[in-house]
Amino acid sequence: MALVLLSAVIALVNGTLEEVFWRGAYVRAFPGIPLLAWVYPSVGFGLWHLAPQSVSTGIGNPSGVVAFVGTATLFGLCWAWVAYRTGPIRWPVISHMLLDFAGLGARVYLIQTPHLDRSRPSPRGHEELGDDPADDDPEKGGTHEETHHRGCTEEGADRSRRPTRCSLRGGLRVHPGIRPRIRPERKGGIGGNCRY
């Protein structure tokens, strides 16, 4: 319940203040100039979301940052259009608060979700690569050692500990936090499959 309350307070404060600054101030200052009242502040609003505390979902993933800023710009354009057409910022504020409550709240809940915590065992009990009995079943692809060394190149295989990264043909890299499931080359396949 405390998380829901915290999410609601954050959404109330953030949604209201951002709308007052990015929509209310510009619409009031430039009532007859759509570019300055609507487009310019929406682009600024999107770029504003490059702030590190706002883009924690995209850290280490450039496409996540681009998607986050692009989405913020798109929502900014929608809210600015409503504010520009109607005058008051009441509806953009309410919409922004609801979006923040859903988004910020989800982020708080996901942080608390046990299955995302890699220090705890997974629900199946096979947290690390090689703990799955299927890895040692020749019918399903061979032993763990055979499977790993055939599926990944030397560059990606860290033999000092359990693998958390592999390098596939074409230079594809798996995020270090993801533990891939490596299977051997299949007939007609392209080789070295990493399953997540």
pLDDT tens across 16-72, in order? 999 999 999 999 999 889 899 989 999 999 998 887 555 465 555 667 778 888 888
Model pLDDT for residues 142-169, shown as the tens digit of each residue: 444 444 444 444 444 444 444 444 444 3
Q: What is the pLDDT of residue 69?
A: 86
The pTM assigned to this predicted structure is 0.51
Model pLDDT for residues 101-148, shown as the tens digit of each residue: 887 555 544 554 444 444 444 444 444 444 455 544 555 554 444 444
- Residue spans of the domains in the chain: they are 2-116, 133-195
SS3 content of the chain, % helix, strand, coil (to 5): 60, 5, 35
Q: What is the pLDDT of residue 96?
A: 92
For residues 8 and 173, give the distance between their C-alpha atoms in angstroms, rounded to a whole number. 38
Return the closest-CA partner of residue 10 out of 114, 82, 109.
109
- DSSP states along 48-113: HTTSTTT-GGGTT-HHHHHHHHHHHHHHHHHHHHHHHHHSS-HHHHHHHHHHHHHHHHHHHHHHH-
